[in-house]
Amino acid sequence: MERREFLKKTGPAVALSAVAGTTGFVFHNREPVKHRNLLAKSASFEVSTDPTLPVLTSATNPDPVAALNAALDGIGGIGRFVHQGERVVVKPNVGWDRTPAQGANTNPALVSEMVRLCLGAGADQVTVSDVSCNDPRRSFLRSGIREAGETAGARVMLPAEEDFGEVEMGGVVLPRWEVLRHFVETDRFINMPVIKHHNLTLCTVGMKNLYGILGGRRNRLHQEIDQSIVDLAAFVRPTLTVVDGTRVLFRSGPQGGSLDDVTIENTVLCSTDQVAADARAVEFLGLSPDRVGHIVLADRSGVGTLDYQAAGYMEIA
Partner 1 sequence: MTIRTVRNLRRGSQIVFFSIFLWLVLKTTFDVDFSPAEVSEIQLPYPVSIALEFDPLAALMTLLASGTLYKGLLWSLVILVPTIFLGRFFCGWVCPLGTLNHWMSGFKSERKARKGKRLLDSNRYKPYQQIKYYIFFFVTGAALLGSLQAGLLDPLPLLARSIGTAVLPTIHTGVLAMTTAARNTGFGPLEVAAGGIYDALDVAMLPYRQAHFHGVLLIGTLFAAILILNRVFTRFWCRGICPLGAMLGIFSRFAIFGLQKDQEACGGCNKCLLNCQGGDNPIVGSKWRQSECHLCLNCQASCPDGALDFRFFPQQEDTRENPAGTSKPDVTRRKVLGSLAAGVAAVPLFRSGDTFAVKRSPFLIRPPGSLAEEGFLERCIRCGQCMRVCPNNALHPTLLESGFEGLWTPYMIPKIGYCEPSCTLCGQVCPTGALQELALVEKVGDDDTPPMRVGTAFFDRGRCLPWAMATPCIVCEEWCPVSPKAIFLEEETAIDIEGNEVLVQRPRVDPALCTGCGACEYACPVFDRKAVYVTSVGESRSEVNQILLERVT
Amino acid at position 137, single letter: R
Shortest gap between Cβ of 248 and partner 1 (angstroms)? 15
The Cα–Cα gap between 15 and 81 comes to 64
What 8-state DSSP symbol labels residue 146?
A: H
Peptide bond before 254: cis, by omega within 30 degrees of 0?
Answer: yes
The whole-angstrom distance between residue 52's C-alpha and the CA centroid of its chain comes to: 28
Site for partner 1 in 46-85 (CB under 8 A): none
By beta-carbon proximity to partner 1, the closer residue of 56 and 205 is 205
Task: Say if CB 199 and CB 287 are below 8 A apart.
Answer: no
Interface with partner 1, residue 300, by CB under 8 A: no
Interface with partner 1, residue 178, by CB under 8 A: no
Q: Name the β-bridge partners of 170.
A: none
| CA pseudo-torsion sign 294, 196, 156, 118 | negative
125-129 and 87-92 beta bridge pairing = parallel
Question: Which range touches partner 1 (CB under 8 A), out of 124-132, 233-241, 251-259, 272-280?
Answer: 251-259
Interface with partner 1, residue 158, by CB under 8 A: yes
Among 58, 68, 97, 174, binds partner 1 (CB under 8 A): 97
- Total site size for partner 1, rule CB under 8 A: 35
CB contact set of 170 (below 8 Å; sequence gap of 6+): 234, 235
Interface with partner 1, residue 3, by CB under 8 A: no
Interface with partner 1, residue 93, by CB under 8 A: no
The whole-angstrom distance between residue 250's C-alpha and the CA centroid of its chain comes to: 22
CB contact set of 127 (below 8 Å; sequence gap of 6+): 87, 88, 89, 90, 154, 155, 156, 157, 182, 186
Among 220, 300, 309, 310, binds partner 1 (CB under 8 A): 220
Among 26, 33, 199, 286, binds partner 1 (CB under 8 A): 199
By beta-carbon proximity to partner 1, the closer residue of 10 and 99 is 99
Shortest gap between Cβ of 53 and partner 1 (angstroms)? 36
Among 8, 9, 41, 138, binds partner 1 (CB under 8 A): 138
Interface with partner 1, residue 193, by CB under 8 A: no
Task: Say if CB 126 and CB 85 are below 8 A apart.
Answer: no
Among 57, 191, 239, 255, binds partner 1 (CB under 8 A): 255
Shortest gap between Cβ of 116 and partner 1 (angstroms)? 18
Interface with partner 1, residue 288, by CB under 8 A: no
By beta-carbon proximity to partner 1, the closer residue of 222 and 300 is 222
What is the binding site for partner 1 (CB under 8 A)? 96-97, 99-100, 133-138, 141-144, 147, 158, 161-162, 198-200, 217, 219-220, 222-223, 225, 252, 254-258, 260-261
